[in-house]
A and B are shown apart, each in its own frame.
Chain A
Amino acid sequence: MIRLPLILIFSAILFSTGVYGVLARRNAVLVLMSIELMLNAVNINLVAFSQHLQEITGQVFALFVITVAAAEVGIGLAIVILIYRNRETINVDEVNLLKW
């Protein structure tokens, strides 16, 4: 028996750490890692509520989120390597081609 708010607070800490990382980091790979932290926090909530409500659907959705995260990292790293090949940098504040 684990108190539900304890799990939710743990996931909130992970999520806000991820938000800090996305905003503070300028290396694109580190930004992707912080996004993974946020997705993990969401997954913890899904599993916790799944067990709290005695309903397996939350865990199925956690699996779907893990799959989407894997696809996202694959595409994201491909884009990062492409940017590095073209611009010699992966700092997100120096890649401003689409900035008006």
Chain B
Amino acid sequence: MTGAEIVFVIVGLAGVIGAFRVVTARNVVHAALYLVIALSATAGVYLLLAAEFVAWVQILIYVGAIVILFLFGLMLTKAPIGREALDNQRRGVAFFVGAAILAGLVLLFLNAFGWDETRVDPVQGTATAVGTSIFSRFVLPFEAISFLLLAALIGAIVLSRKDDPVVRERKGGRP
């Protein structure tokens, strides 16, 4: 085990524990805070892989924006506390499916890539390299994704806006 691998295992364990707590927490706000741990550990893994730009984007977008969005979503909806209220009755089936997928993936990976011969040797991943690649080979997908973001923004505003009083009156429904 090299030093980088030991650090990776520590960071990865933190991420795995955070992820487990996300899906088992009894309190939805705690689940959101454990999600921060899982996402930060992922950012740490990116840093260990020398993908620094992706790591900082992960911190900014996921930890900075998406988790806040989740907390707002929890704030605006009534969140019951307790495992029975948050989980459905198919926990055993869900556990079986998750374990089967994990076993299948691990077997597949260990078969496809030998334990000792494939190693990651991080060399690149700076903002310069990523930006050069985006604006030379992926200009069209970049524009498409900007348009997607705009569409999602407008869609979210339209969906979550309160109804027009005139429209509500015409329909005769409650607010």
Question: Using a CB–CB distance below 8 Å, which chain A residues touch chain B?
Answer: 1-10, 12-21, 23-27, 29-30, 32-34, 36-37, 40, 43-44, 47-48, 50-52, 54, 56-57, 59-60, 62-64, 66-75, 77-82, 84, 88, 90, 93
Contact = CB atoms under 8 A, between A and B. Distances in A.
Interface of B: 2, 4-5, 8-9, 12, 15-16, 19-20, 22-23, 28, 31-32, 35, 38-39, 42, 45-46, 48-51, 53-54, 57-58, 61-62, 65-66, 69-70, 72-74, 76-80, 85-88, 90-91, 93-95, 97-99, 101-102, 105-106, 109-110, 113-116, 118-125, 129-130, 133-134, 137-138, 141, 145, 148-149, 151-153, 155-157, 159-160
Contacts of B133: 56-57, 59-60
B127 to A, nearest CB: 11
Contact of A51 (B8, B22, B50, B69): B50
Given A14-B16, A29-B73, A81-B77, A56 B125 contact: yes
